[in-house]
Amino acid sequence: MVAIPTAVKRLHRRRVLRGMVGGAAVSVGLPLLNCFLNGNGAALAAGGPLPTCFGTFFFGLGFNPGRWEPEAIGANYTMAPELSALAPFRDKINIYTGMQAFLDGRPNRVHDTGVQVCMHGEIARSREATPPSIDSLIGDVIGTRTRFRSIEVSSIGSSRGYSSRGRGEVNPSEVSPAALYARIFGPEFQDPNAATFTPDPLMLARKSVLSGMSEQRAALVRDLGAEDRARLDGYFTSLRELENQVSLSLQKPEPLQACTTPQTEKDPTTGTVVENVLATNKLFSGLLAHTLACGQTRVFNSIYTSALSTIRRAGSADTHHVLTHEEKADEKTGYQPETTWFNERSVEALVDLITALSNLHEGPGTLLDRTVIYVSTDTGRAAVHSLINMPLITVGSAGGRMKTGIHYHGNSDPVTRVGLTIQRALGVPTSSWGNDSNTTSAHINDVLA
């Protein structure tokens, strides 16, 4: 079930509980929302277009080679059978075929190497040498002025994720939609469309506590070796983000037309049974859409199934991963039938995310229009862990910065070209992305607007 917007905004519990305690209340009356729409009805924030958002969507084990690629190159292609559920969104997405990750003679750490190249642009030589993931690079540019730098979720129940600030420090994923709801829309949520705004004295107090903590950096890192110093620098970067979060809560947020507080939802049954994972993904998708629409973050990472996907049907001992290796291919079609069924569920999960973003209207468009989602997986052919012809999809145009409706064929180009194209569309100042044979300095002209 998608989180349903409530017609009536909830009163902030904080306001009810604390009222005016301890601070001079500043009440700011807000005019009607229509005042924030320009002549064409396009939603504006702070006098400019609404900000762009970026997300990643990861699904494990790829698709069947030969069954997901469109035949025609360019626009107006026909969706291939495995992706048929994406047909209604054809003009909002791009499909990239013929892209690959290069090993340069290094071992294929199965189900891991492909993810590294898609998310980090390279196969890191060590944990510490792992560069930041693509969402981090983009977050540095578009995500520094929101309450959350990025939000990570995983529908498969593991808090491990693929987003990282570098040095192999993984940003943990939220696994419970109810917990995510509490984190975003709990008592600390500032409704951008609330009629009044009162800075919370508690937040003012917390702000000075956090700056007292930051002050101690110099004394603490002074005598550390380089590696531990880097670790504490990571800590203090995270602390600054928390300070930023608290500071932002003291400012009156810009009104955002599509922002409504979703209803709380109970978590679906956890576990690896496909129906439950899909239900969790759907709840997360709805919550992420509301989180973006309410300006709480501009960057998200959503994992439907992990690289070594343990998703399965109820009552079956065979996980998607086991099936890719052990299931007999159907003699007539040449494809493994159960594996294919699971692949199609991955597409269904992506459709649920796209739908959630398309359902939030902002002026004449939707939230999806100002977003770009980078969809990647771990392998081009799961049965043999191939890194050739890795399926990649982008969804949305990032506010017109990317063309959509295109099938691009890469002729064995590195997968990093797609990531570089997105980075350029979103204003990341970079001349190239990746290393060794996965390096590219050429974005994809056909899709960069």
Partner 1 sequence: MMMSISLFKPTNDGIASFLRFVSVGVMAALLMTTASPSAIAAEASVGKPVMRRLSPEQYILTINGIFGRDIDLGGNFETEVREDGLLALGASRVSVSATGMERYDAMARAVAAQVVDPAHRDTLIPCKPASVSEPDNACARQFLAEAGRLLYRRPLTEQELQIQVDTAAAATVRLKKFYDGLGLSLAGMLGLPQFLFHMQTVEGDPANPGQYRLDAYSKASALSFLLWNSGPDGELLAAAEGGALQTPEGLARQVDRLLASPRLEDGVRAFFTDMLQMHDFSALTKDAEIYPKFTTGVAQDAREQTMRVIVDHVVTRGADYRDLFTTRRTFLTPALGAIYQVPVRPYPEKDSPNRGWQPYEFPEGDHRAGLLTQLSFVAMHSHPGRSSPTLRGKAVREIFLCQKVPDPPGNVNFEVVQDTKNTIHRTARERLDAHAREPMCKGCHKLVDPIGLALENFDSAGGFRTSENGAAIDTKGEIDGVKYEDALGLAKAVHDSPAATACLVKRVHAYTTGRKTTPADNEWIKRLQDGFIADGYKIPALLRRIATDEMLYRVARPQTEAANPATTLFAQTTAQ
Smallest gap from Cβ 383 to partner 1, in A, equals 7
- Residue 364 Cβ vs partner 1, minimum distance, rounded to whole Å: 35
Q: Which is nearer to partner 1, 49 or 168 (CB)?
A: 168
Q: Please state the separation of Cα 101 from the chain's center in Å.
A: 21
Decide whether 254 or 318 has the Cβ nearer to partner 1.
318
Q: Give the residue among 415, 425, 421 at the shortest CA–CA distance from 392.
A: 415
Best CA proximity match to 201, nearest among 26, 42, 45, 365: 26
Report whether 296 contacts 146 (CB < 8 A): yes
Consecutive H or E run containing 201: helix 201-214
Which residue type, as a one-letter code, is found at position 150?
S
Nearer to partner 1, 25 or 42 (CB): 25
Residue bearing tokens 């992706």: 83
The CA distance from 270 to 256, in Å, is: 33
The answer to whether the CB of 270 falls within 8 A of the CB of 25 is no
For partner 1, the closer of residues 4 and 21 by Cβ is 21
Shortest CB 42 distance to partner 1, Å: 32
- Minimum separation from the CB atom of position 8 to partner 1 (A): 28
In whole angstroms, the minimum distance from the beta carbon of 396 to partner 1 comes to 24
Q: Which is nearer to partner 1, 288 or 351 (CB)?
A: 288
Torsion of CA 156, 183, 395, 417, to 10 degrees: -80
Q: 75 or 221: whose CB is closer to partner 1?
A: 221
Alpha-carbon torsion, ordered 143, 4, 355, 259, to 10 deg? -40
Q: Which helix (H) or strand (E) holds 154?
A: strand 151-154
Identity at 194, one-letter amino acid code: A
**Minimum CB distance to partner 1, residue 157 (Å):** 7
